Amino acid sequence: MSEESHIVKKDGEIATGQVETTLNRLSDDQKDDILSNFESFKSYLGKRIQLGESIGLGEEKLAKIAQKVADYLAAHEEPRNREEKLLYELWKVGDEDQRHKLAHLLVRMVQADK
């Protein structure tokens, strides 16, 4: 798979435009596995955060990616449990700054679970 198909480049640069393409590559079964319950979602997010940290991404870059992913999920996926429903509702009513802060909180939440 070429570097153009990844969200994070080898130099640590973020290709936020790749978020939708990357998420669209997931099969429906993969999405169901990740989104079926909140613990699965947190585990998946935690693994991705850990991967980002291992290549030197700081919290701000991780939050920017988390925000793009959340934008995608809010636009394309129905919440599948009450926790996702709450996140969806908060995302819907939040402005750009509030959404960015919520993305930071999501990053911190999964970091705290390590």
pTM of the model: 0.83
Q: 3-112, what's its fold? A: Cytochrome Bc1 Complex; Chain D, domain 2 (1.10.760)
Q: Where are the chain's structural domains?
A: 3-112
Q: What is the pLDDT of residue 83?
A: 97
Among 17-26, 73-82, 86-95, which stretch is predicted with the lowest mean pLDDT? Answer: 17-26
Pinpoint the alpha helices (H) of 25-95: 28-35, 38-54, 59-76, 82-93
pLDDT digits (tens, 9 = 90+) for 89-99: 999 999 999 99
In the predicted model, is pLDDT for residue 3 greater than 60?
A: no
- Report the distance separating Cα 55 and Cα 99, nearest Å: 25
3-state SS class at 14: strand
Mean pLDDT confidence for 52-73:
93
Q: Work out the mean pLDDT of the chain and round it to a whole number.
A: 89
Among 24-28, 43-47, 72-76, 100-104, which stretch is predicted with the lowest mean pLDDT? Answer: 24-28
The answer to whether 98 and 91 have CB atoms below 8 angstroms apart is: no
